[in-house]
Amino acid sequence: MTESAIVPLPDAAAEGSAARAHLMRRLLRNGTGLAAIIVLVLVVLGAIFAPLLTHADPNKADLNSLLAPIGPGHPLGADAAGRDVLARLLYGTRFSLAGALLATAIAAFIGVVAGLIAGYYQRWFESIASWAASLLMALPAIVILLAARAVLGPSMWMSMAVFGVLLSPAFYRLVYTAVVGVRNELYVDAARVAGVGDASIIGRHILAVVRAPIIIQAAMVMGISIAIEAGLDFLGLGDSSIPTWGNMLNDAFSKMYQAPVLLIWPSAAIALTSVALVLFANTLRDELERAGSGGRAKVQSTATGTVFGEPAIVHADEPGSAAPILAVHDLVVGYDRPGGEFKQVVNGVSLTVRRGEVHGLIGESGSGKTQTAWSILRLLPEGGRIAAGTIVFDGVDLSTQSEKQLCRIRGRRISYIPQEPMSNLDPSFTIGSQLVEPMVVALGISRAEAKRRALSLLARVGIPSPERTFSSYPHEVSGGMAQRVLIAGAVSCEPDLVIADEPTTALDVTVQAEILDLLRGLQRDLGVSILIVTHNFGVVADLCDRVSVMREGRIVESGPVRELFRDPRHPYTRSLFDAILEDGAARGALAHSSDRHTVKEGAR
């Protein structure tokens, strides 16, 4: 297989727009989302077509129909001034929505623009903008609105505009955080190097990322604005000359004992609209998150795995090899996909690790080598399971053990060294406590005894000052030191088998050499078996006794390291050896380049 062959995907070109259409469809299929959208559409239509829905004038007082009941002339009755309630409600929708829209638009405009600039350029603008945002958030909104009314007069538009400014930090914070997240993406750097202007970068690369969160935030802010607007009018601080839901509420409140039903209409409008907006925002967010994590409600398929592919080429063992500690036979591992599909990633792996041996499992990314290692520990990620095969560890089949039984084996008899040392240490605990705790639980020894052992282990793995490292936190040590700590942890409970998943990949080459020395020394002293997953033939040559080469979920070739390296038989193994650059010819000098050779003096 060549890497330039594109994996065919159904309908690949249209996938971008399809994803968006898909989101809308899922929003409509979601019960809550559908209900919220219907309510919002009805409210907006009501506002737009108000003149068609009622012929009454919302402001025309009629002394003949004061507090008129529901009847043919007034579908929802009339209020204390004899104005038609339905007309006031429909026209009020116009003003209430427009007011909320104004506040939201102002908040979004200020917040988004400031957030984009502050996030992208940072420096002094960021300091000022963040300070201003904090100040605005600290101000009590209602006091400011009262003050604004006192100065600017009772205009709904004015108070909504002020409220918009007060709400702008909600957008600012959101956009700022998102922009800071993407501005260091390499594609933004690449665009800068390509000579793309800042405005174009922001519009093309950055705005796209923050679009969805802005829509969600806008729906939330709009709901709040409607409630605040109604609240101001209800308190009598609004402009009573226009029909709004808040003014209706205020009027109805004064006649609560004569006509309580009048309170229902504006309250229902406010509540329904606000709730619909918030639910719409929530559903949108949920659906977006779901899109990221790929499908909901995993269906557990009952598909059993199938072993396929050619059998492995096995080089004969040297006579007199030790008994196996781990024997994996026809292991099939896969992941349940939504829709009952079963995606198989390991297609029948058979593997034997002998007592006291270092076994290398080598393959390229996606070959299933890490999946194999995880299944032995039964630590497959969500949705993954062993579909067939056996994993016999010291006479016990791990694939059929209960979780409780496995807990007695994991950490005590089989331990694990991960690839990323830093992310495998808990940053909130000291290194010492992370070493002591497992020993106390697994070996049943006292804390003092565990501490004594931990210190001697830290010294054993080559940490210069064990006492100091014992009491430091993970961020205070280097990556190489962290890996030594994890190795100390892995051997602390005297396991029979250590599974090391690319233990040196994240490390510098000089540190890698030290860690390999350490693993070799520990293996010799403790006689432990090691299964080491790697993609580096040099690591295998350095450390391993036997090796298995994996490709597409199968082992294609296995045998003693010297044998296999001298005589690789499978074409894939041979192609891997051919790709190794070490000892290849150097490029040589450029025809007209200088041949000066400079060496820095004084540096070690």
Partner 1 sequence: MTEPLLEVKDLVVEYPVKGYRRKPFRALKGVSLDVQPGECVGLVGESGSGKTTLGRAVLGLAPVTGGEVRFKGRDIGHLSRGQRRGLASEIQVVFQDPYSSLNPSLTIEQSLTEPLRVRKVAAVEASKRVRALLDQVGLPTGAAQRLPREFSGGQRQRIAIARALALSPDLIVCDEPVSALDLSTQARVLELFKEIQESTGVAYLFVSHDLAVVRHLSHRVAVMYQGEIVEFGDGDKVTSDPEHPYTQRLLLAAPVADPDRQEQRRADRHRLLAAQTQLEEQTRVA
| 191 near partner 1, rule: CB under 8 A | yes
User: Closest approach of Cβ 459 to partner 1, in Å?
Assistant: 19
| 190 near partner 1, rule: CB under 8 A | yes
Q: Which long-range contacts (CB under 8 A, 24 or more apart) does 566-572 make?
A: 567/315, 569/313, 569/315, 570/313
| Closer residue to partner 1 in complex, CB, 164/503 | 503
| Closer residue to partner 1 in complex, CB, 404/600 | 600
CB 84 within 8 A of CB 66: no
Candidates 134, 258, 304, 575: give the one binding partner 1 (CB under 8 A): 575
Which residue(s) pair with 343 in the sheet? 335
Which tokens in the block code for residue 241? 């000359």
| 583 near partner 1, rule: CB under 8 A | yes
Using the structure block, give the residue that is written with the tokens 């790697």: 534
Using the structure block, give the residue that is written with the tokens 């800068």: 192
Q: Count of residues binding partner 1 (CB under 8 A)? A: 72
User: Closest approach of Cβ 311 to partner 1, in Å?
Assistant: 23
Using the structure block, give the residue that is written with the tokens 């808040």: 246
Candidates 52, 63, 297, 599: give the one binding partner 1 (CB under 8 A): 599
Rounded CA separation 306/386 (Å): 11
| Closer residue to partner 1 in complex, CB, 269/539 | 539
Q: Sort strands 497-501 and 529-534 into parallel, antiparallel or unpaired.
A: parallel
| 192 near partner 1, rule: CB under 8 A | yes
Which tokens in the block code for residue 270? 């406010």
Candidates 62, 364, 394, 449: give the one binding partner 1 (CB under 8 A): 364
Sheet containing strand 324-336, edge to edge, reads: 342-354, 324-336, 384-393, 396-397
CB 262 within 8 A of CB 86: no
Which tokens in the block code for residue 352? 């034997």
Candidates 186, 199, 316, 448: give the one binding partner 1 (CB under 8 A): 186
Which tokens in the block code for residue 470? 């014992």
User: Closest approach of Cβ 582 to partner 1, in Å?
Assistant: 5
| Closer residue to partner 1 in complex, CB, 6/138 | 6
| 404 near partner 1, rule: CB under 8 A | no
Q: Segment contacting partner 1 (CB under 8 A): 79-87, 448-456, 483-491, 569-577? A: 569-577
Q: Segment contacting partner 1 (CB under 8 A): 21-29, 161-169, 454-462, 596-604? A: 596-604
| 604 near partner 1, rule: CB under 8 A | yes
* SS3 (DSSP) at 430: coil
Give burial (CB, 10 Å; 0-12/13-18/19+) of 232.
Answer: buried
Question: Which residues in the 477-516 window bind partner 1 by CB under 8 A?
Answer: 508-510, 512-513, 516
Candidates 205, 355, 412, 413: give the one binding partner 1 (CB under 8 A): 205
User: Closest approach of Cβ 4 to partner 1, in Å?
Assistant: 5
Q: Sort strands 324-336 and 384-393 into parallel, antiparallel or unpaired.
A: antiparallel
Question: Which residues in the 537-556 window bind partner 1 by CB under 8 A?
Answer: 537-542
Q: Segment contacting partner 1 (CB under 8 A): 24-32, 183-191, 252-260, 410-418? A: 183-191
User: Closest approach of Cβ 286 to partner 1, in Å?
Assistant: 21
Candidates 16, 31, 381, 395: give the one binding partner 1 (CB under 8 A): 16
Rounded CA separation 550/416 (Å): 20
Q: Sort strands 324-336 and 342-354 into parallel, antiparallel or unpaired.
A: antiparallel
Using the structure block, give the residue that is written with the tokens 């041979």: 574
Q: Segment contacting partner 1 (CB under 8 A): 5-13, 83-91, 99-107, 243-251? A: 5-13
Q: Sort strands 414-417 and 497-501 into parallel, antiparallel or unpaired.
A: parallel
| 365 near partner 1, rule: CB under 8 A | yes
Candidates 267, 473, 535, 552: give the one binding partner 1 (CB under 8 A): 535
The half-sphere exposure of 350 on its side-chain side, counting CA atoms within 13 A, is 13
User: Closest approach of Cβ 346 to partner 1, in Å?
Assistant: 18
